[in-house]
């Protein structure tokens, strides 16, 4: 019995010493320590906003994405509208304005991304009919552009909201797969894909689980829950409220997306704009006078509230958006504006951190006012 106790104690001592040695040896090896990846902040810069974009924005960004070059049904970058007129995105790509912005971004070590876009259902249907051929055409067209302007990410924003067949989804997934393979072959950089909140609930062209393996990053465009065509006023990107104040919300869209996309690939797309409608009364979610809806940037909303003595405004905690209203003495109607502000950005930032998302994506640079981006100062 005594011998058994001695042996047991000796074995226990050996085990403790071995455990200490293992712990010390592992702590000496740096690759065993996993640190979280830096948060990303993508800023989309539309060609029509080049004059309004403030280069101070770059202190908040990790990636600057130029929006956009259009792709036609054959996979070609659209360069001409007609024989006398260049396509606007293509024209501004060569402008001194964009060149200056790109050079400044490079000096600040900001990643440059080129966005290729299409919202033409007919062109998209044609594009996916021959996915391998058209993917090759696109990369052949895009490769010299990316090299010339030092773009190291290709962002594809192919938006078709019409119902899609299973074969169309499979063809689109094949198109994405070939694009990714060719980017790697040509050593052009990473691939970012855009999806909409509708893609998470409808049988659209984009099969999220199908495209996920080929994307380095996926941006969920979590906005336009209300639009200029809405029949009632409401938030453009409600954080919460689905089933109560809104049909759908950002939280639900993110949760559904995370069923098919790992959080370290997903970026939350956030608007820097809202919408303004004309209404017959001041009630939130009141009926809209048809045809009265227009975009209202955060910059416009800030400026309006600073100079409008008769305007009233409040922040809605449920949707995490600001609302403003004022009367029109000429028509006897009211104007309602729903827009994001500094509090909105903070709420979305907190939510993105809670869900361990890869980062945020801002649509679009040039729409922001003086304070809305300040919560991002320490985000990276």
Spell out the domains of the chain, with CATH numbers in brackets. 39-272+343-378 (3.20.20.80)
Q: How far apart are CA 180 and CA 111, in angstroms?
A: 18
pLDDT at 149: 97
Residue 22 has pLDDT above 70, yes or no: no
Within 10 Å of residue 59's Cβ, how many Cβ atoms? 12
CB-neighbour burial class of residue 16 (10 A; exposed 0-12, middle 13-18, buried 19+): exposed
Residue 360 has pLDDT above 90, yes or no: yes
- 239's tokens: 């954080």
pLDDT at 125: 96
- 277's tokens: 């409608």
Give the tens place of pLDDT for each residue, 229-250: 999 999 999 999 998 878 899 9
pLDDT at 35: 52
Q: How far apart are CA 316 and CA 368, in angstroms?
A: 19
Contact 362, 42 (CB under 8 A): yes
Contact 199, 253 (CB under 8 A): no
Q: Which of 177, 114, 183, 111 lies closest to 145 in space, CA to CA? A: 114
- pTM across the whole model: 0.90
Q: Using 50, 70 and 90 to split pLDDT, how confident is the model at 27?
A: very low
255 by DSSP, 3-state: which? Answer: helix
Q: How many helices (H) and strands (E) does the chain have?
A: 10, 15
Residue 183 has pLDDT above 50, yes or no: yes
Give the tens place of pLDDT for each residue, 131-177: 999 999 999 999 999 999 999 999 999 999 889 999 999 999 999 99
């Amino acid at each position: 019995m005594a011998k058994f106790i001695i042996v047991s104690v000796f074995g226990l001592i050996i085990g403790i010493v071995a455990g200490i040695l293992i712990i010390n040896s592992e702590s000496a090896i740096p690759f065993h320590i996993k640190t979280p990846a830096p948060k990303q902040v993508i800023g989309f810069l539309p060609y029509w906003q080049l004059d309004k974009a403030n280069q101070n924005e770059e202190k908040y960004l990790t990636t600057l994405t130029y929006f956009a070059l259009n792709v036609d049904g054959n996979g070609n970058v659209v360069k001409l509208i007609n024989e006398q007129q260049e396509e606007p995105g293509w024209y501004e790509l060569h402008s001194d304005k964009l060149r200056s912005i790109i050079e400044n971004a490079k000096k600040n070590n900001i990643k440059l991304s080129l966005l290729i876009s299409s919202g033409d259902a007919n062109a998209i249907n044609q594009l996916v009919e021959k996915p391998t051929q058209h993917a090759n055409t696109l990369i052949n067209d895009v490769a010299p552009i990316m090299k010339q302007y030092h773009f190291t990410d290709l962002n594809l924003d192919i938006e078709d909201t019409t119902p899609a067949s299973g074969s169309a989804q499979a063809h689109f997934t094949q198109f994405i797969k070939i694009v990714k393979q060719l980017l790697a072959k040509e050593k052009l950089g990473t691939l970012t894909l855009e999806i909409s909140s509708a893609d998470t609930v409808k049988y659209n062209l984009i099969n999220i689980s199908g495209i996920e393996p080929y994307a380095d990053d996926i941006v969920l465009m979590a906005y336009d829950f209300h639009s200029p065509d809405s029949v009632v006023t409401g938030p453009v990107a409600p954080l919460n409220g689905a089933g109560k104040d809104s049909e759908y919300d950002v939280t639900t869209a993110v949760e559904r997306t995370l069923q098919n996309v790992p959080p370290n690939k997903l970026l939350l797309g956030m608007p820097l704009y809202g919408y303004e409608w004309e209404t017959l009364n001041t009630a939130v979610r009141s009926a809209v006078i048809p045809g009265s809806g227009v975009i209202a940037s955060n910059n416009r909303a800030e400026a309006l509230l600073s100079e409008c003595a008769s305007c009233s405004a409040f922040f809605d905690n449920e949707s995490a958006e600001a609302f403003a209203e004022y009367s029109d003495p000429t028509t006897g109607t009211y104007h309602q504006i729903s827009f994001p502000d500094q509090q909105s950005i903070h709420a979305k930032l907190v939510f993105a951190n809670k869900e361990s998302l890869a980062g945020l994506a801002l649509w679009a640079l040039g729409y922001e006012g003086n304070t809305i981006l300040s919560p991002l100062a320490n985000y990276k």
